[in-house]
Amino acid sequence: MNIAMLGSGFIGRFYADSLQGYRSKDKIVSIYSRKEESAKKFAIDYKVNHYTTVMEEAINRPEVEVVCISLPNNLHEQAVLLCCKHKKAVITTKPLGRNAEEAKRMLLAVEQAGIFNGYLEDLVYTPKFIKAHESVKNGALGRILWAKSRETHPGPHSDWFWDIEQAGGGCILDLGCHCVEITRSYIGKDIRPIEVMCWADTQVKPIDAEDHAIGLVKYENGAIGQFEVSWTFRGGLDLRDEVMGTEGTIWINSFLRTGFEMFTSGKGGDYVAEKAESNTGWLFPVGDELNELGYNHMFMDMFNSMEKGVQPKETFYDGYVVNSVLDAAYKSAKTKQWEPVKLDIWRGGEGVNRDSSLVEYDADHYLVKEEMTHYGTKKLILKNKQSGKIIEKVVV
């Protein structure tokens, strides 16, 4: 694939490293940046023949097959509409929009234009997530009751993130978009998110947006998604997921504890891992950061899907759903109440019933719990179906 990269900053360079390194047949042929010196430096570093400070010029080059957006949130819609105008396939970094209305306009635009669209949600492409999600799909955890995702770190790299007008929000939008899509994927993307309860505050940073938040997302089948996000966490990038079902549990620590530990005085120290706060003392480097953060698998899915003429795992529609959930979270943070998720476009299941978790023991009783005691007998806790009385039964 011949790619036009829009944005030459932190995430654009992460993308470029993966794009040109994983499949070894994709190439960035045009780079757009708002700053000429940044565009030129990117072009030199990644051997890109064309650079420009005019967005449309980067997109509308005959050799460009797909446009990759790695720009501030407030520029996503402009870039997407230009891709629609010139009929270029488009893939964009998260979040899709600053809010659901922006996301909806972009979704409808790409579908009306008939162009390929991909939502670059890298954290549902990490090796650990892929393995865990496969186990969930195969029923290893039974029915999913609760899924939690946490992303916390000391704050983003670029100035625009801290400007609420450009970014559209704070850590809820920046990090919560990851967490919502992760938990939504475990619960089931065809299960409708119904309402959200969220607490948010600005605890540390001198900004207008929130720097810390916790939220609950209630789904139509009774499952609960939970997100914990912060720009105030000290100690690096903390990525953790927990999934609980009727038959099992999964815990994932994706980044802060990598199984790779190193102590150094700092002599000769340099970059350790994304969001690492120090290069001295005990450190937790990442062996293959691009792979561990999901970039390699994400772009493989995007480009393989393009070549096959099918939709990727993550599309603009997914970005729209995430934005809609986060809109409800922002509203709840203000009202201190559960707020409904407004989804003008819903393509999942309708009228999904809350699944029963009752397990029959016999004709008269439900099984509450079964356990083996330390003294060698089995104990059953049972509930009578008619009277509701709870009893114990010891099985010798």
Question: Does residue 143 sit in the same domain as residue 89?
Answer: no
Question: Does residue 26 sit in the same domain as residue 102?
Answer: yes
Question: Does residue 97 sit in the same domain as residue 146?
Answer: no
Question: Does residue 218 sit in the same domain as residue 240?
Answer: yes
Q: Collapsing DSSP states into helix, strand and coil, what is residue 14?
A: helix
Question: Does residue 116 sit in the same domain as residue 161?
Answer: no
Question: Does residue 177 sit in the same domain as residue 323?
Answer: yes
CATH number at 162 reads 3.30.360.10
What is residue 384's predicted lDDT score, i.e. its pLDDT? Answer: 93
What is residue 288's predicted lDDT score, i.e. its pLDDT? Answer: 83
What is residue 192's predicted lDDT score, i.e. its pLDDT? Answer: 97
pLDDT in tens, 266-321: 776 666 666 566 777 777 777 788 888 899 999 999 999 999 999 999 999 999 99
Is 62 part of a structural domain of the chain? yes
Is 8 part of a structural domain of the chain? yes
Structure tokens at 48: 């890109």
Is 294 part of a structural domain of the chain? no
- Name the percent of the chain lying above pLDDT 90: 79
Whether 174 shows a pLDDT value over 70: the answer reads yes
pLDDT in tens, 240-261: 999 999 999 999 998 877 677 7
Is 299 part of a structural domain of the chain? no
Structure tokens at 6: 């829009």
CB 97 within 8 A of CB 76: yes
pLDDT average, residue stretch 343-349: 95
What is residue 72's predicted lDDT score, i.e. its pLDDT? Answer: 96
pLDDT in tens, 48-94: 999 999 999 999 999 999 999 999 999 999 999 999 999 999 999 99
Question: Does residue 268 sit in the same domain as residue 319?
Answer: yes
Is 388 part of a structural domain of the chain? yes
pLDDT band at 6 (very low <50, low <70, confident <90, very high): very high
Question: Does residue 134 sit in the same domain as residue 253?
Answer: yes
What is residue 291's predicted lDDT score, i.e. its pLDDT? Answer: 86
Is 213 part of a structural domain of the chain? yes
pTM of the model: 0.90
pLDDT band at 138 (very low <50, low <70, confident <90, very high): very high
Question: Does residue 55 sit in the same domain as residue 180?
Answer: no
Structure tokens at 370: 């079964």
CA-based nearest residue to 197, from 225, 222, 223 = 225
Question: Does residue 188 sit in the same domain as residue 335?
Answer: yes
In the sheet with 339-340, reading across from the earlier edge strand, the strands are: 249-253, 238-245, 144-152, 224-230, 212-219, 193-201, 339-340
pLDDT in tens, 102-117: 999 999 999 999 999 9
Which of 122, 149, 184 terminates a domain? The answer is 122
Is 72 part of a structural domain of the chain? yes
CA distance 13 to 70: 9
Whether 358 shows a pLDDT value over 70: the answer reads yes
Question: Does residue 194 sit in the same domain as residue 95?
Answer: no
Q: How many structural domains compose the chain?
A: 3
Domain that holds residue 12: 2-122
Question: Length of the chain, please?
Answer: 396
- Choose the weakest-confidence range: 195-199, 328-332, 376-380: 376-380
Whether 147 shows a pLDDT value over 70: the answer reads yes
Which of 122, 137, 158 terminates a domain? The answer is 122
CA distance 227 to 212: 11
What is residue 219's predicted lDDT score, i.e. its pLDDT? Answer: 97
Is 240 part of a structural domain of the chain? yes
Residue with tokens 């430096």, as numbered in its chain: 41
Each as own residue / partner, the long-range contacts of residues 377-382 (CB below 8 Å, 24 or more positions apart, any chain) are none
CA distance 176 to 191: 19
Whether 377 shows a pLDDT value over 90: the answer reads no
Question: Does residue 187 sit in the same domain as residue 278?
Answer: yes
What is residue 271's predicted lDDT score, i.e. its pLDDT? Answer: 63
pLDDT band at 129 (very low <50, low <70, confident <90, very high): very high
CATH number at 42 reads 3.40.50.720
pLDDT average, residue stretch 347-370: 86
Which of 122, 140, 164 terminates a domain? The answer is 122
Structure tokens at 218: 């209630």
